[in-house]
């Protein structure tokens, strides 16, 4: 992912008011390993039920404000809909996002299961298990990781595009 500035992040939200975007507590951007993430996701330290993701689309970064029922209690043993990791399954939360535009103002929302701490990029880059690789050569491990990364990007992009779509 390309590095983003605070200004770029705050201006890219499609389902948050300007006030909500300006009130968001951003992560420490100088600590983000931009070359190792496929989207930027974080929980707001000052507003525990608010979380955010920013995904790079063809026309630039698009941000989405997410809500969790209760980030601590909402965690469940499940498979994240974005990274689909079968190893890290006990830190997944249901996140809900208002749609953008008039649909969101009418209360239309979409929900999905995502890693609570947004560790999807790390999960897709983990070394494949023996069950995933079988007796395949070393190159197969790299192909599995590449497929996981592509899948994460496709699923996170599809979710954000659905939020952005006005009906």
Mean of the pLDDT values across residues 154-163?
A: 96
pTM over 0.85: yes
| Phi, then psi, of 135 in degrees rounded to 5 | -100, 20
pLDDT above 90 coverage of the chain, percent: 67
Query: Is the Cβ–Cβ distance between 13 and 20 less than 8 Å?
Result: yes
Query: What does the pLDDT read at residue 138?
Result: 66
Residues 119 and 122: their CA atoms lie apart, in Å, by 5
Query: What does the pLDDT read at residue 129?
Result: 82
Helix (H) or strand (E) holding 109: strand 109-115
CB atoms within 10 A of CB 72: 9
Query: Is the Cβ–Cβ distance between 52 and 24 less than 8 Å?
Result: yes
**H-type alpha helices, 15-99:** 18-23
Query: Is the Cβ–Cβ distance between 62 and 54 less than 8 Å?
Result: yes
Query: What does the pLDDT read at residue 166?
Result: 65
């Amino acid at each position: 992912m390309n590095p983003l500035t605070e200004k770029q992040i705050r201006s890219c939200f499609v389902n948050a008011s300007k006030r909500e975007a300006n009130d968001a507590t951003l992560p420490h951007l100088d600590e983000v390993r931009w070359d190792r993430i496929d989207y930027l996701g974080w929980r707001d330290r000052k507003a525990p039920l608010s979380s955010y993701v920013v995904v790079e689309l063809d026309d630039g970064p698009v941000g989405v404000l997410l809500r969790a029922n209760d980030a601590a209690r909402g965690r469940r043993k499940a498979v994240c809909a974005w990274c689909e990791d079968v190893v890290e399954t006990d830190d997944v939360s249901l996140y809900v996002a208002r749609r953008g535009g008039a649909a969101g103002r009418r209360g239309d929302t979409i929900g999905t299961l995502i890693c609570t701490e947004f560790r999807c990029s790390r999960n897709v880059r983990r070394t494949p298990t023996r069950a995933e690789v079988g007796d395949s050569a070393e190159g197969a491990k790299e192909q599995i990781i590449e497929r996981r990364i592509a899948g994460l990007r496709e699923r996170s992009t599809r979710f954000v595009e659905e939020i952005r779509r006005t009906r």
